[in-house]
Structures are given as structure tokens and as C-alpha cells.
Structure 1
């Protein structure tokens, strides 16, 4: 008789949830909000006038324990200026097949060029090469008042003004 009650008590959980209203999530049409401090996809940031913050120092690549970041720096010239300093990141790649989302690259960046967004992007694909994000997919979009690099620094500004955040967006004509 006790074996009978054991088997009936096992169905207790099933019977208790059988008549409850279902909790259906309409994912991916309705995405739930992310938690504060969520480490989403990486983003390369820009200054207010559109110049890139990345100076090609490669510290993020050195800090990455999974060896998921590849940076190749190059020198800015007077004709082509991509960042306010002497150098910029000519090639910047993050391999999301290797990235573990630890955020050590963010801490290593001296100019806050690399941050992690709170957007929930599904990093899945049927092609492995599409999960290696290049600079074209990592750069922050241009905001109003930003100009597409390469262009000169703001008139009268030094690279120190950029690093201190004293640069305003350009006036639209």
C-alpha cells in the first residue's frame, strides 16, 4: 500500500502544475530586459566629433585570457587621422568563438575605447567566419554631429583635450 502512495505522490507535482496558467515567453519577438551590469556584445567607441577612441595599443589583446582579440595598430598621418593620438587600431577583430565574456579587455583599455553593451545579441551563426567581428561591426554608429573618419582633430584641440572629454560634436551646417 505504501508503494501505491509513493507513486501517487510522485504525480503530485504534475497535477499541481497542470491547471496553472502557462508562463509563455514570446522570445525572440519580446526580449526580456537584461540585468544591470550584463556583459553583452563589445563596442568600439568614438569621440563626440567621430574620431575613434582606439589608439591601437593592443592592451586588450594582451589582457584577453582566451586570445580572442587581434589588434594591429598603425600610425596616423596628417592626411588620414582616425584617432586623436599618434596611432589608431587599423585592424581590430574579436573572435566570438573564443570570447568568454570576462570583461578583462574592458579593464585594460586606457582610453575607454572598448566597452561592453547591455544589448542581448545572439552570437550564433551557421558560418564560423561570421562570428569573427571586424572593426566594421564593432564601431559605435555615428551620432548626429559626428563626421566619418579620417578627418582632422577639432580646431585648436590637442589629444589631451580628447582624452579629458572636452570635445563637443561638430556644428551641423
Structure 2
């Protein structure tokens, strides 16, 4: 080995010795994540507490890693978990298999499934990486009631999913004006 090669190697070492340190103090000061970071999944709820998931299994079919298992169930008038005819009786995501691609989010027709910024998913046991519906459901906020219960936001599932109560393009005033021939 030549002396020139050795000096060249030491030159690289010395140039890095005086650069700014990039070490982070992770557990005490976690880094800020990008706003669109794909982390743990969340099953969202409607404002009255009913689940948005209708158990259609489209997220499971779209998953390239086969990490999602959904088993649908039928709602009854006595036990209503979602506004539609069906709900997700069983919902599981295996984070040992999930590649966080977001295809399940795109496949969801009701926007029930979203991804949070939570990334600390490490567990000591592989079985603990299978998250169940109870772990994935969004927490109940004030004003929400734990399902099963009746629909409070409208008389039919269209009031929930099509936005007939809040969508400005189909508001009651616009519909009445359209029927009267004013628009």
C-alpha cells in the first residue's frame, strides 16, 4: 500500500471529524415526521360513534402482502355497528407482513381505513404484531356513543356515505331551488 493512498484515507477521516454531528436523541426527542408518513392503520368512526368499515374486504384484496384479514357480519336493527347492511365482525392487520404501501387505504370505499404517523410498532412477541379491530378502532370522542346503537345522523345509510346532510353541492337549499327551477 502506498503512502499516498494512506494519506488519502486519512484525509477522508479528518474531513468527517469536523462536520456537524447528526446523532439524534431518539427516545427523549423523537424526530418530526413528514406529514404524509405511513404508519399504523386506524379504523375511523362516524361522528355518532358508528364504525365506517362495512366489512367489504376490499382492503384485504388490495393488500400485496396479504397482511389484512376481514370477516364481515350483518347488522340488525337491535345490533347496529355501522350505517350499512354489513360491518367488520373481525378485522386484523399483521404488521409482521405489512409493507406500509397504502394500497388498502386507496381501496377503501368508505374512507374507513387511514394511516397515522405512529411508527413505534416493535414488539417482543410476533403474535403481538397482529393488531385486532379493538386495537385499530379510533377512540370514542366526546359526543360519540359506543356501538351497537341506532343511526343518529340520518334515516338511511345515504345520509352517512353520500353526505346528504353536509355536502354543500347537495344541500337542502340547493335541491329545493333546483326543483323550483331557479338553478
TM-score, structure 2 as length reference: 0.84
Deviation at 1:23, TM superposition (A): 2.8
For structure 2, which runs of at least 5 residues remain unmatched after alignment?
167-183
Q: Deviations over 1:4-27 (max 9, x none)?
A: 122012111211222445333110
Deviation at 1:65, TM superposition (A): 1.2
Deviation at 1:31, TM superposition (A): 1.4
CA distance in 1, matches of 2:76, 2:134: 21
Q: How many residue pairs end up in the alignment? A: 165
2:126 aligned with 1:103 = no
TM-score, structure 1 as length reference: 0.88
For structure 1, which runs of at least 5 residues remain unmatched after alignment?
168-173
From 149, 152, 162, the counterpart of 2:150: 152
The structure in which a higher percent of residues are helix is: 2
From 123, 127, 130, the counterpart of 1:129: 127
Q: CA RMSD in A?
A: 1.7
CA distance in 1, matches of 2:142, 2:40: 23
Q: Which residue of 1 aligns with 2:74?
A: 75
The ranges of structure 1 where at least 4 consecutive aligned residues each deviate by more than 6 angstroms after the TM superposition are none
Deviation at 1:108, TM superposition (A): 0.9
**CA 1:152 to 1:14, structure 2 compared with 1: closer, same or farther past 3 Å?**
same
Corresponding residue SS for 2:2: helix
Q: Which residue of 1 aligns with 2:16?
A: 17
Deviation at 1:37, TM superposition (A): 2.1
